[in-house]
Amino acid sequence: MAQDILVYVEHLGGEVTDATYELIATARTLAGETGGSVDAAVIGTGAADLASSLTGADRILVADTDALGAFNPQGHAEIFTSLVEERDPAVTLVPYTSVGMDVGNHVAAATAQPLVSYCLKVDVSDGLTATCQLYAGKVEADVEVEGDRAVFAMLAGAGSADDGRSGGAGAVENVDAVVGDLAVTFVGLAEPEAGDVDITAEDILVAVGRGIESEDNIEEAQELADALGAALAASRPIIDQGWLPKTRQVGKSGLSVTPKVYIALGISGAPEHLEGMRDSTTIIAVNSDPQAPIFGVAHYGWSGDLFDFIPELTDLLEG
């Protein structure tokens, strides 16, 4: 078991998150190098039902208990820690999310293992190393772990959720779900109101940034989106101005999107924004600054006035 890769399964509302499948994709790559297996630990209420639909892992470790509510960080961390101690995996993976960090911090401290956060990539070919993103993506650092065991917290997008889902269902193994006295009690889950559009599910997005200049010009971008059969999204400055609702924000502090076509209008391409859209199939950027960072990830780009671009393309589509 010392060469196995152990994954913490994050789930919400009775569904396994994409972050988990991204971890499984990473784990499978690492297991191919260590010669081990991929173990995925599902903990908490409904764990058995989740295990029946989970794919990609070789073994699914199920700690099914209603004692933890929808999510109890202390209880999940204690159970996951016991699995790390018992199975001694070569690498332990958690998502870099609020849930994953609640668990990862505890596990690393309890097992005296290093915790490496903000990970884009993990390598086991020559010791344990990771490439980590710092300062909101402005810096990438190569980290070498002292010792032969570590907990890695992986950023969203570090692996492919589709790759993680591929493959059959793993063998299910029930494990001990008993925890001690818990100082934390699950009270309830408060979720923001759903927006009128789910931009994460759209095939085409037209996103606007500072270059749109004023709230009045949003309507012009909306007309282009309508002509394309697209949804309108935005970078953070537009949301902070209150010109569009938070549910339309793309980026690190908003939503991660992967549409087939992403049209960025007047968006400079700050690392925080790129983190949320760089995996789009086709990226088209329009910006008056030819040196704008957005052109570094765009498949097609045009340096010019977006107020020339928008009406001309809209007219072509409507004509």
Mark whether 135 and 219 lie in a shared domain: no
Shortest CA distance to 132 belongs to which of 148, 145, 147?
Answer: 145
Q: How confident is the model at residue 95 (pLDDT cuts 50, 70, 90)?
A: very high
- Phi, psi torsion values for 109, nearest 5 degrees: -65, -45
Tell me if 189 is assigned to some domain: no
* Over residues 196-206, mean pLDDT: 91
Residue 62 contacts by C-beta under 8 Å, 6 or more apart in sequence? Answer: 42, 47, 48, 51, 172, 173, 174, 175
Tokens found for residue 221: 């971008």
Angle between helix 73-87 and helix 98-111 axes, rounded to 10 deg: 50
Mark whether 140 and 215 lie in a shared domain: no
* Over residues 39-67, mean pLDDT: 91
CA distances from 272 to 141, 175, 279, 293 (A): 17, 39, 14, 12
* Over residues 143-154, mean pLDDT: 93
Q: Which percentage of the chain shows pLDDT scores above 70?
A: 97
Q: How far apart are CA 203 and CA 222, in angstroms?
A: 16
Please provide the average confidence, as pLDDT, over all residues in the chain.
90
Tell me if 181 is assigned to some domain: no
Mark whether 146 and 206 lie in a shared domain: no
Shortest CA distance to 212 belongs to which of 138, 268, 169, 140?
Answer: 268
| Per-residue pLDDT reduced to its tens digit, 219-239 | 999 999 999 999 999 999 999
Mark whether 41 and 108 lie in a shared domain: yes
Mark whether 246 and 138 lie in a shared domain: no
Which pTM value belongs to this model? 0.74
Kindly tell me if the per-residue pLDDT of 187 is higher than 90. no
pLDDT at res. 245: 92
Total count of domains within the chain: 2
pLDDT at res. 275: 81
Q: What angle do CA 284, 288, 294 make, to 5 degrees?
A: 40
Mark whether 43 and 106 lie in a shared domain: yes
Tokens found for residue 293: 């960072």
Instruction: Give CA 71 to chain center in angstroms.
Output: 19
Shortest CA distance to 28 belongs to which of 296, 20, 114, 238?
Answer: 20
Mark whether 148 and 265 lie in a shared domain: no
Strands 151-154 and 91-95: parallel
By residue range, what is the domain housing residue 19? 5-174
Mark whether 126 and 224 lie in a shared domain: no
Task: Please name the helix (run of DSSP H) or strand (run of DSSP E) that holds residue 99, with its range, or none.
Answer: helix 98-111
CATH code for position 263? 3.40.50.1220
Give buried/exposed letters for 183-203 (b at 16+ CB in 10 A, else e).
eeebeeeeeeeeeeeebbebe
* Over residues 85-108, mean pLDDT: 93
Mark whether 167 and 208 lie in a shared domain: no
Mark whether 169 and 211 lie in a shared domain: no
Q: Are 246 and 257 in contact (CB under 8 A)?
A: no
